[in-house]
Amino acid sequence: MFELIIAICLIALNGVFALSELAVVSARRPRLKAMAEKGRPGAKLALALMEDSGRFLSTVQIGITLVGILAGAFSGAALGARLTEILGENGVPQGVAEPLGFGIVIGLITYFSIVIGELVPKQFALRHPESVACAVAPLMMLISKVAAPAIWLLNTSTRGIFMLFGGSETDNTVTEEEIKMLVGEAESAGVIEEEERRMIGGVLRLGDRQVRALMTPRTDVDWIDLADDADSIRDLLITTPHSRLPVSEGDADNMIGVVQSRELLAAILAGGQLDVRKHVRVAPVIPDTLYALDALSLLRDAEVPMALVHDEYGHFEGVVTPADALEAIVGVFRSDSETPEPDAVRREDGSWLLAGSMPVDEMEEIIGISLPDSRTYQTVGGLVISELQHLPHEGEHVDAFGWRFEVIDLDGRRIDKILASSLMQRAGAASPTG
């Protein structure tokens, strides 16, 4: 009976080590930090074990190895001898009773060691990793201090072998892809809504975008030229939907600032003389290679929340406002003058109808392709032009990244609509059936 109790205790102890190992390894660092800030007992110790993973794993391995040795040497031998004796008393020949007794004991100990000592604790640890880590951390820390010499030897030997084979320290930096995966898991679990996931993805994309991927391009910008006559300027103020307009002096590449449309309209309604130059405000001039978040920082401190974007040669490329950043995160808003069309529409055959002005990082996420990090284009239309190496005509297509991009509509020289279809699906549809 005593031997049986010892065996049960050793199996349970093995379960504690297995539970501790998986709980600390699986626990999420941000959650443990939040628990520690709230004063959760054991959270700080769990973080300390996580920081020194080599020491912790050596502690667990020593414990599991010792338990295995004791279970085999003590419990197995004692229980095997006891069962052999019982079998002999019941008429089983000695030559059969001994291997049968030891075989049954070893089989049972192995079974319960796997189920009770490994599988059940690990399943429990996976379901509640942070709570379990906080609970077992004090015990693991105590064992690591008691067995410090042996742990130091194992940890040093492990590091030496890693260095011998050119191993490096583990990078615990959380990547953007991991964040997206966590957000996707949170949406699947119902923790956040689908729209919240999209907005988080938009924020992450915004940090990687340059201003030229965010700005309103020059071809879509309404601006006032001081060289124009008063009637032309009045007509522009009446027809434009924009509250702020860039002002040029003789040439589009010579932008001198920005005016508020309502200030000029108020002056006209008051019966005064239209003096555009009097109302011009200084606007920041930024390069098109500036990152979007840096541009937003400049706009926060600017006299007007609009920046004039120029390329490296000094040519005016467009304008960027905080509204452009907001649209990159939450999508295009419906204005009073027009109903925006979606940038991407999936068709019944699995192909996608894409706007040429759609940012390629959004297209990359929606249709599931992988684009190179170092690219010179920012839109889907730019991708097509980059691959073709010339301005396309309607009906022209290019095969790239496992997809066919076909230009189906042009607005002047600008690509308006593109049909994207998977080459794999096209090949499957073209292959004979039967």
Q: Which tens digits make up the pLDDT trace of 54-75?
A: 888 888 888 888 887 777 666 6
Q: What is the pLDDT of residue 173?
A: 61
Is the CB of residue 350 less than 8 Å from the CB of residue 425? yes
Q: What is the pLDDT of residue 434?
A: 45
The partner residues of 346 in beta bridges, in order of sequence, read 352
pLDDT at 305 over 80: yes
Confidence of residue 404 (pLDDT cuts 50, 70, 90): very high
**Rounded CA gap, 129 and 132, in Å?**
5
Both tokens assigned to 41: 């007992």
Taking residue 431's Cβ as centre, other Cβ atoms within 10 Å add up to 7
More confident position, 376 or 41? 41
Q: What is the pLDDT of residue 73?
A: 66
pLDDT tens digit sequence for 143-187: 888 888 888 888 888 878 877 876 555 555 667 777 777 787 787
Nearest to 50 by CA among 66, 28, 77: 28
Provide the greatest CA pair distance for the chain: 122
Nearest to 382 by CA among 353, 418, 411, 356: 356
Positive or negative, the CA dihedral 6, 8, 9, 11 is positive
The SS3 of residue 44 is helix
Q: How many CA atoms lie within 13 A of 60 on its CB side?
A: 22
393 secondary structure, DSSP code: -
pLDDT tens digit sequence for 226-255: 988 888 888 898 888 888 999 998 888 899
Its pTM stands at 0.59
Q: If you average pLDDT over residues 337-364, what whole number do you get?
A: 82
pLDDT tens digit sequence for 182-229: 787 787 877 788 888 888 888 888 888 888 888 888 888 999 999 888
Is the CB of residue 288 less than 8 Å from the CB of residue 211? yes
Q: What is the pLDDT of residue 316?
A: 92
Mean pLDDT across the chain, nearest whole number?
A: 83
Least confident of 32-36, 86-90, 254-258: 86-90
- Which domains does the chain possess? 2-164 (no CATH), 176-208 (no CATH), 211-330 (3.10.580.10), 344-430 (3.30.465.10)
Question: How many whole angstroms from its chain centre is CA 238?
Answer: 45
**Rounded CA gap, 84 and 78, in Å?**
10
The SS3 of residue 169 is coil
